[in-house]
Structure 1
Amino acid sequence: MGAVSTVRRPRGTRLALFGGTLLLGGVLAGCGSTVDSEDVTDQVATAIEDSAGAPPDATDCPDPLDAEEGATTTCTVTVDDTDYDVPVEVTGVDGDTADFDITVPEELRVPRVAADDLADQIASGVADQVGEEPEGVTCPEDLRGEVGTTLTCVLTAPDGTELDTEVEVTSVEGAQVNFSFEVLPESNG
């Protein structure tokens, strides 16, 4: 996936920026000269689903992808009755595998807060509120920047008690993701 950068904002706010390009690979077909169009189609559909949060209504990559660095093809994805061009470019070939970039259209990108950054922000917020840093916070995955999205992280108190911590996205402004969190009072262990 493209690089994710975050910038610290006031508690409960994260700015997540995406490069918009996913690096994927495909197995070469036949004598090793192309990546089958079905494989490219599957990879593009997965990239759109990962970025947009839902699979596209349709994905069409009519041509195989030549297994040469710099080779390109353009696929078409349909989301909510709108067609989007999705460029695909081979970035390298190693044996029977071609690596390629899929550039997800900006309109289909949903910002995310990286799991580690989310955990750091929760730990900082708890330290600000109670005056003591927790032993640790772990979040199972990135937080998708869509209003109402929830995620449960686990906060480990200084005494080792593990507490579920509910996180909810409260607003999204461009790439800025605002969220609230609540440490639940009962041990989850």
Structure 2
Amino acid sequence: MRIAVSIVLAALAMVVSGCGSTIKPEGAAQSVTDLVSKETGFTPKDVACPDGVKAEAGTEFECTFTGPDGDYVAEVRVTKVEGENVEFYIRSKLKDS
């Protein structure tokens, strides 16, 4: 089973205030989990996203997770930031493919 998803997801990731707004890694990870689960029926249990990602439209980062047939990467792009809500474009694929 190959998980390949390319979709815009209005995410529930929350932005944290401080010396510049950043995306909470656990919020981004939950968005990836929700999208993969919805689109494929497989629920990843180990999604990991980086700390310190700027909450600005156009920012790109990668999250990783284990799928049913190997290691995957979710390519994430911030498309919109409104207050504490962030919208992502997420595309997942097998790592190194």
TM-score interval, smaller chain: 0.7 to 0.9
Tell me which of the two structures has the higher relative contact order, counting C-alpha pairs closer than 8 angstroms and 6 or more residues apart. Answer: 2
User: Would you say how many aligned residue pairs link Structure 1 and Structure 2?
Assistant: 89
Q: 1:173 aligns with which of 82, 87, 95?
A: 82
Unaligned stretches of 5+ residues in structure 2 = 1-8
Percent of aligned positions with the same letter in both sequences?
A: 27
Alignment of 1:22-171 (within 5 A): 51-52=19-20, 110=21, 112-159=22-69, 161-171=70-80
Computing the radius of gyration from Cα coordinates, the structure with the larger value is 1
Cα distance in 2 between the residues matched to 1:144 and 1:14: 16
State the Cα RMSD in Å: 2.3
Deviations 1:56-101 (A, max 9, x none): xxxxxxxxxxxxxxxxxxxxxxxxxxxxxxxxxxxxxxxxxxxxxx
TM-score (norm 2): 0.74
SS where residue 47 of structure 2 aligns?
Answer: strand
* Aligned counterparts of 2:56 and 2:16: Cα–Cα separation in 1: 15
* Separation in structure 2 between the aligned mates of residue 164 and residue 147 of structure 1, nearest angstrom: 20
Measured in 2, the distance between the counterparts of 1:15 and 1:120 equals 8
- The answer (yes or no) to whether the contact 1:135–1:157 under 8 Å persists in 2 is no
Residue deviations 1:152-183 (CA, integer Å, cap 9, x gap): 11121033x11121000001122321111100
Aligned-pair CA distance for 1:19: 5.8
Judge conservation of contact 1:135–1:158 (CA < 8 Å) in 2: no
TM-score by length of 1: 0.41
Measured in 2, the distance between the counterparts of 1:138 and 1:17 equals 17
Name structure 1 gaps, 5 residues minimum.
1-10, 21-50, 53-109
Instruction: Indicate which of 72, 91, 97 corresponds to 1:182.
Output: 91
